A and B are shown apart, each in its own frame.
Chain A
Amino acid sequence: MLAFVISRILQAIPVMLAVALISFAMFAYVGDPVSIMLGQDFTEAQRTQLIHDLGLDQSFLMQFATFIGNAVQGNFGLSYRLSRPVAELIAERAPATLELAFCAAALAMLIGVPMGVYTGLYRNSWLSRAFLTFSLVGVSLPTFLIGILLILIFSVWLGWLPSFGRGEVVQLGWWSTGFLTWSGIKALILPSVTLGMFQLTLIMRLVRAEMLEVLRTDYIKFARARGLGNRAVHFGHALKNTLVPVITIAGLQLGGIIAFAIVTETVFQWPGMGLLFIQSVSAADIPVMAAYLMLIALIFVTINLVVDLLYYLVDPRLRIGRGAAGGH
């Protein structure tokens, strides 16, 4: 078990380096931070000086090596756009994104799983068909459109929910939370629904398909033959067996939710890391973009690891298999 975790962590290092290299190589195409920092009036000498100060006159490999060297020490430098330490900026923005991602994922699980079970059990009821039609909408509409539609209905027409921002937040140490104020909770609703919509429909369809599959197996027939009630069969036996793929997908999607919160955050002006990234792209703020991409890579790697570990808990066969095969 420990060996497995260590080997996974070792595997993660080249992944992180590759992400850093690729993202760094891309920065050559996002534009010139120098022209944005200099503004409208400057001399050629000022321009050369700034390029030199930022280290942009060094070779690509030198710049990359400097970046990695500093990053390993936790120093991502100063944002070109805001002149503030990058690590501090990201730490400030992380709570907003994580709270939003958590709400979206919770929403998707809490609604998606029951809907999936229901549509799996009662395939032909009108409610199931309604759910499936709804899920098609959720899968096919792009996130920004869902966001704008929700704003139109709930903010502009009905005036119930705010169209942007986080509302009032409360500082708990360095963590800013929107869960403790009424306006903060209200502000969370529309972005969470927007962000969680795709995942919700995905989980629902996945649970449904898995349920249909499992319900046909001998295992279920035997359970029924043992005289177990519907409830025990459906939830104790059938649902539990559908969970392995659901956990995989939900886990991997959690990374996706955090990473792709960019669109939702832009639509709702949600002050999270995704919005920070977008604002940095438009200013060619390389230190922030690099740090953000590294962080997202780290999140994906970590989530993959956690998902692998969760298999152990859910599927007893894996535990035995791994033990017998010595870690493989």
Chain B
Amino acid sequence: MRKRSVAALRAAAVVFLVLAGAAQARTVRWAASGDPNTMDPHSQNVGTVTMVLQQIYDPLLTRNRDLSLAPGLATEWREEEPTRWRFLLRQGVKFHEGESLTAEDVAFSITRAQQPTSNYGIYVDTVDRAVAVDERTVDILLKRPDPILPNKLASILIMSRSWSEAHNATRPQNTRAREEMFTTRNTNGTGAYRLASREPDVKTVLARNESWWGWGDPGNAGNVTEIVYRPIASDATRIAALLSGEVDFVMDPPIQDLNRLRAAPGVKVVEGPEVRSIFLALDVHRDELLYSDVKGKNPFKDLRVRQALYQAIDIGAIHRTTMRGQSVVTGTLLPEQVNGYVKAEDVRLPFDANRARALLAEAGYPQGFGVTLDCPNNRYINDEQICQNIAAMWSRVGVKTAVKSQPLAPFFAQIQKDDTSVYLIGWGVPTLDALYSFQSLLATRNGEQGDGIWNYGRYSNPRMDALVQRMKAETGEARQAAITEALRLYREDIPHIPLHHQMIPWAMRSNIQIPHMANNQPFFRWAVVN
């Protein structure tokens, strides 16, 4: 017994020494609710995957702290012709397993992202093919001019061709395959961190890549040597782990805990906007709504009804109470970080319940009507409460609203069948360009990649479609004019009822500095542990 306790003490001492060593090793223990589903860079286009992979892999163009473009693996790029872009690669870049980066790797990666099993097709939708001109020059040939190609390429991570071929991974992970792909759990990037170990859903450890090309740049002053990512699904547990010092950085603290976290010793909350707009979309297509007591006609086709519903919403109340100040109220589709945003078009119709009642009466609904509002309850910040607030506000002007809230899986399954009359949704803009939003949300669905794929209210306006085509083709001022006109049309036509842009607070231990990013994707190259 005695001997055993001595052994236990010794073991404890060893553990202690290891921990002390780890403290010097400058580890950041990072937690969020979800785990990356894969380590394949072109398979799943979701934040939980890219937030880890962008530490490991580099794109041709990377982003600064304000999300503006910066040189990544490419040091120079220019439009040679409207349909041909040339990228010059950085010299001396090596993959984690030792291969030198060549133009072949870049051409291969872009081709890989174009495969049918890729989830990154929208970023290379205009690309015809990528050609390695010489060791460090890549030409990207386009099917049609694409002014925002560099923005899109900032989302395409570059892999090693020889490594991918050696591991039979020349296409993104395929669900048809019966076998697990090598890239599901293994990586070989050029990035600031390499994957040291991975247990899916439990722990992912990244170790600093001392030979990363970017460490020489004084802007990349990060000193973190190890990142340990662990998903903790339960909100209460995640916050408890932060408060007790078991975790250093929580990316998604629940809003109701923020005040408590601010007051807690040793913990700080860093706030910033997110590039994600929350809005309501209406079925403006059907001749009779699926979920309404109005028969034989669709009230949402009447602009006056849409305006009434808009003006019935007291967004200030939602901002103050439900969001506790953590939202940026908006009257437009785009957050201000997105290319094309126009301040003058970001104007809301004022909250005015009497005007709303008058408009409803004018449209022929003096008694109002009933409708069901579809809502996710675990996707956006306070999504369900926002819907309940809106239902109450609409009911007050006579539109008796029932909220149907569901977890995201059944919610998206339902609305993607156009099986809804009005729904709340949030929209992030990974390309940081207006086209992405207008094309997906407001263009008529025509089978072309990207057009109208998230337009479940089936808004269709030839003027909007023409503007989207102009955004695709034109450049410079002519393009901005098209975006501005589309933003104005959005205000006039009210296809959506805009609500707010989300704020994303990050919580961390006081001795850590991680710059807040509006795309909710931390870069540890800038993280400092004191």
The B203-237 residues at the A interface (CB cut-off 8 A) are 203, 230-234, 236-237
Indicate if the CB atoms of B233 and A81 lie closer than 8 Å.
no
Indicate if the CB atoms of A43 and B448 lie closer than 8 Å.
yes
The A30-58 residues at the B interface (CB cut-off 8 A) are 30-32, 35-46, 49-50, 53-54
- B398 at the binding interface (Cβ < 8 Å): no
Q: Give the contact stretch, choosing among B92-100, B349-357, B408-416.
A: B408-416
Min distance, Cβ A113 to any Cβ of chain B, angstroms: 25
Indicate if the CB atoms of A54 and B453 lie closer than 8 Å.
no
Indicate if the CB atoms of A83 and B38 lie closer than 8 Å.
yes
The interface size of chain B toward A, counting residues with CB under 8 Å, comes to 63
Indicate if the CB atoms of A85 and B180 lie closer than 8 Å.
yes
Query: With contacts A43-B447, A159-B245, A163-B246 known, is A35 near B416, CB below 8 A?
Result: yes
- B392 at the binding interface (Cβ < 8 Å): no
Indicate if the CB atoms of A151 and B237 lie closer than 8 Å.
yes
Query: With contacts A40-B454, A41-B450, A84-B184 known, is A275 near B409, CB below 8 A?
Result: no
Indicate if the CB atoms of B38 and A82 lie closer than 8 Å.
yes
Indicate if the CB atoms of B175 and A32 lie closer than 8 Å.
no
Neighbouring B residues of A283 by C-beta, 8 Å:
37, 409
Indicate if the CB atoms of B440 and A163 lie closer than 8 Å.
no
Residue of B nearest to A145 (CB): B236
Neighbouring B residues of A284 by C-beta, 8 Å:
409, 413
Interface string of B117-133 (1 = CB under 8 A from A): 00111100000000000
Residue of A nearest to B49 (CB): A39
Neighbouring B residues of A88 by C-beta, 8 Å:
180
Within the complex, which residue of A39, A183, A271 is in contact with B15, where a contact is CB–CB below 8 Å?
Answer: A183
Indicate if the CB atoms of A39 and B45 lie closer than 8 Å.
yes
Indicate if the CB atoms of A42 and B244 lie closer than 8 Å.
no
Indicate if the CB atoms of A275 and B201 lie closer than 8 Å.
yes
The A128-160 residues at the B interface (CB cut-off 8 A) are 148, 151-152, 155-156, 159
Indicate if the CB atoms of B453 and A43 lie closer than 8 Å.
yes
Min distance, Cβ B384 to any Cβ of chain A, angstroms: 15
Residue of A nearest to B247 (CB): A164
A53 to B445, CA, bound (A): 24
Min distance, Cβ A309 to any Cβ of chain B, angstroms: 36
Query: With contacts A40-B45, A163-B237 known, is A83 near B175, CB below 8 A?
Result: yes
Residue of B nearest to A263 (CB): B234
Min distance, Cβ A102 to any Cβ of chain B, angstroms: 20
- B181 at the binding interface (Cβ < 8 Å): yes
The A69-119 residues at the B interface (CB cut-off 8 A) are 77-78, 80-85, 88-89
Indicate if the CB atoms of A182 and B453 lie closer than 8 Å.
no
Q: Mostly helix, strand, loop or mixed at chain B's interface?
A: loop
Neighbouring B residues of A39 by C-beta, 8 Å:
44-46, 119
- B177 at the binding interface (Cβ < 8 Å): yes
Q: Which of A40, A49, A181 has the most B CB atoms < 10 Å from its CB?
A: A40
- A11 at the binding interface (Cβ < 8 Å): no
Min distance, Cβ B180 to any Cβ of chain A, angstroms: 5
Neighbouring A residues of B317 by C-beta, 8 Å:
none
Query: With contacts A84-B200, A183-B15, A269-B234 known, is A282 near B45, CB below 8 A?
Result: no
Neighbouring A residues of B408 by C-beta, 8 Å:
31, 282
Query: With contacts A39-B45, A53-B175, A82-B37 known, is A32 near B243, CB below 8 A?
Result: no
Indicate if the CB atoms of A279 and B233 lie closer than 8 Å.
yes
Neighbouring A residues of B416 by C-beta, 8 Å:
32, 35
Indicate if the CB atoms of A35 and B46 lie closer than 8 Å.
no
Neighbouring A residues of B185 by C-beta, 8 Å:
84
Query: With contacts A156-B240, A275-B201, A275-B233 known, is A41 near B453, CB below 8 A?
Result: yes
Neighbouring B residues of A278 by C-beta, 8 Å:
233
Residue of B nearest to A33 (CB): B409
